[in-house]
Structure 1
């Protein structure tokens, strides 16, 4: 029950490998920039202009000179010298990029092909432009911005210096194709879906392409230990070192109050929590027994529900601060876990046996399972902190590969797939994005 106005089916999660880029220090790189927008080679945010002070001559005894004038230095230029053989390898990669669920025509291969055939003086500039467009889509997905639909998972940073480093690797060291492939998700699910793409046609292929792009939206390194929630599968899982330590059923947001996709950090658990009723649903509890009203400065009231068997948060709530006020917590409506479709919450993730799940998260601390049980039984509101903060990802995958190599399909409960596919195909329409 939250203030918002599965593991992905039955397959193991493995640790993603960090993106193998040589990142420059923050001091050298300035403010981090993100991926190029599809169709351009430019980062999504601009690098702050560096400035150099213009020297001012002084005369002994003269008044102090005015502050030196700041002269903007030119922005970094992304460039590389491309040999014809390297450009041909890039062209071959583009021609085969449909294996990743992407469309070769998005990268204008004919333009690069003409530059190669004509031995154009612009070959290096055209190859650089093509390379950066491909790299951006492999690293961040082709679908960006609002077209991702309720997606608030933070992108990896990718500065202009990282892009230049990647260009240098491709043209002066590693092969072009190896450099580009290093940007792809290393999670086994991505490889499994890619294999399934080669064997499927029609609607199934479109579903797979849509979810392959969603994998590219995620950070490359999910962490050594993390929690992942797949909303369409109604599952919550704790993964460490590629092994699933705990998997639970979940209840997700109702169709009218959908759960957004986001990442946060779990720092602890609150046993016997109070429920701070969101203002958006205050009318639902106004006047009901079991709620405490709190006067607000300037007038009005808000409501709180004390701990107890009727509390909407149940016996535990995970501490995972985020601007959407979305949390994993217990529930007093445990019968919902027996349903196949479990979209009933106000946006939060109600977790089956949430107390047991929290106890697993607290392994490595002095919070034994007996201590957890005793605290819950006491009815007192107590917070326990995990040994090390644990990242959590709430995601939306409508297909996934199972342990047996089959393709598991989940109900597209919030009807997001068609809109994402339209953006993936560069055909978003006003109608397709109307519910954004």
Structure 2
């Protein structure tokens, strides 16, 4: 009798609201060098209220589950949902559909990697602050399940390029590499900012992005295999022209104190420093971008190295080709190139603030779209790919999600 009443209510199109308790996945935030990296857990159990799922919304959810492999993700088990649908119990359907939708959303937003697999990735993922249950409730109330899941995918154009390449790639190993880099994009913040610098150490490129588009790209030299450039984010606040180089203790040990005065080196209370000038290891400019690794973007006197295809020569810092052009572009009108050149000619150390601080992301993507628009799979110079999970299964050809 109770089931007849319930079925009658559903047939009449009455949508009720139900309270459900779900086991949902959480995510730990990235920290500094000694903090744990993000991992997915299933220990949180918030109670949420969700609009009842319509038949059409259930069909959309099924489609997204089936199409998860198109994003190099596993399809979550939909058994509980199908059992609930077979029972005809709307409360059970709502509970199972919401649980499945949140699980799939977290896969798209955060990925599948655990703490060990994310080791060394120290860019904080601010997506942990997103209230997924509230977003899902709003999507169901608007009959917009597709919009909900589309909003969970990484929004960066480079992810879209990876997704397209993944769908077309037939070589199993290249397909795994692309899948691993799609996973890395899920570790990035959903929004990187309206303007930012993105450095990809695997492809030896630095790009300035403004308003969602790549504005310009510069070649870079990155850390040697023995001293790899770390993955992290910082904020660029200014440019130092004619910088002094205060030599790190590790380099002093490596060179055993061999710093000749003819190259501008001077002994200081804390070790050695190098005066501004043509031989300075930092070249004619250095960015102000404080970070716990003491890794900076700067010029270099060794211009010939930019002609190499594989440019891993530094102790970890990022050396930029055409560095004064790079600096002037970031200054965005605060100083013209002529004014920058005039300051450089003085040999006086001068700091010029950016009009607006810029986020910078030092990343590592071994499959990517280059500044010229071409798609490449690069050598894994730091041997980091093998620890990143790769779901490279076949995709349903009828998927439209």
> Shorter-chain TM-score category?
0.7 to 0.9
Q: Report the counterpart of residue 209 of structure 1 in structure 2.
A: 179
Q: Secondary structure at the match of 1:147?
A: coil
Which runs of 4 or more aligned residues in structure 1 lie more than 4 Å from their structure 2 counterparts after TM superposition?
32-37, 402-406
Change (3 A) 1:154 1:403: closer
Q: Report the counterpart of residue 103 of structure 1 in structure 2.
A: 74
Counterpart-to-counterpart distance in 2, 1:341 and 1:323: 26
Counterpart-to-counterpart distance in 1, 2:73 and 2:41: 13
> Displacement, 1:84?
5.7
Counterpart-to-counterpart distance in 1, 2:279 and 2:86: 73
Counterpart-to-counterpart distance in 2, 1:418 and 1:265: 30
Instruction: Identify which of 379, 385, 388 aligns with 2:353.
Output: 385
Are 2:308 and 1:339 aligned?
A: yes
Change (3 A) 1:117 1:405: farther
Cα distance per residue 1:274-307 (max 9 Å; x no partner): 1122222221341422433333xxxxx4322222
> Displacement, 1:245?
3.4
Q: Report the counterpart of residue 22 of structure 2 in structure 1.
A: none
Counterpart-to-counterpart distance in 2, 1:403 and 1:34: 31
Instruction: Identify which of 198, 212, 236 aligns with 2:206.
Output: 236
Counterpart-to-counterpart distance in 2, 1:307 and 1:396: 31
Tell me the C-alpha RMSD between the 2 structures: 2.6
User: Greater strand share, 1 or 2?
Assistant: 2
Are 2:314 and 1:350 aligned?
A: no
> Displacement, 1:402?
5.7
Are 2:296 and 1:327 aligned?
A: yes
Instruction: Identify which of 327, 336, 340 aligns with 1:368.
Output: 336
Q: Secondary structure at the match of 1:108?
A: coil
Aligned residues: 352
Q: Secondary structure at the match of 1:142?
A: coil
Q: Secondary structure at the match of 1:158?
A: helix
Q: Is the 8 A contact 1:38 1:137 kept in 2?
A: no
Q: Report the counterpart of residue 415 of structure 1 in structure 2.
A: 383
Counterpart-to-counterpart distance in 1, 2:71 and 2:330: 35
Calculate the TM-score normalised by the size of structure 1.
Answer: 0.74
Q: Is the 8 A contact 1:79 1:128 kept in 2?
A: no
Larger relative contact order (CA 8 Å, sep ≥ 6) = 1
Unmatched segments (≥5 aa) in structure 1: 1-31, 43-74, 296-300, 426-436
Calculate the TM-score normalised by the size of structure 2.
Answer: 0.80
Are 2:163 and 1:194 aligned?
A: yes
Change (3 A) 1:41 1:116: farther
Q: How does 1:151-170 map to 2 (within 5 A)?
A: 151-159=121-129, 162-170=131-139
Are 2:63 and 1:89 aligned?
A: no
> Displacement, 1:118?
3.1
Cα distance per residue 1:139-169 (max 9 Å; x no partner): 2222243412421112124347x12311212
Change (3 A) 1:186 1:176: same
Change (3 A) 1:90 1:389: same
Counterpart-to-counterpart distance in 2, 1:363 and 1:37: 38
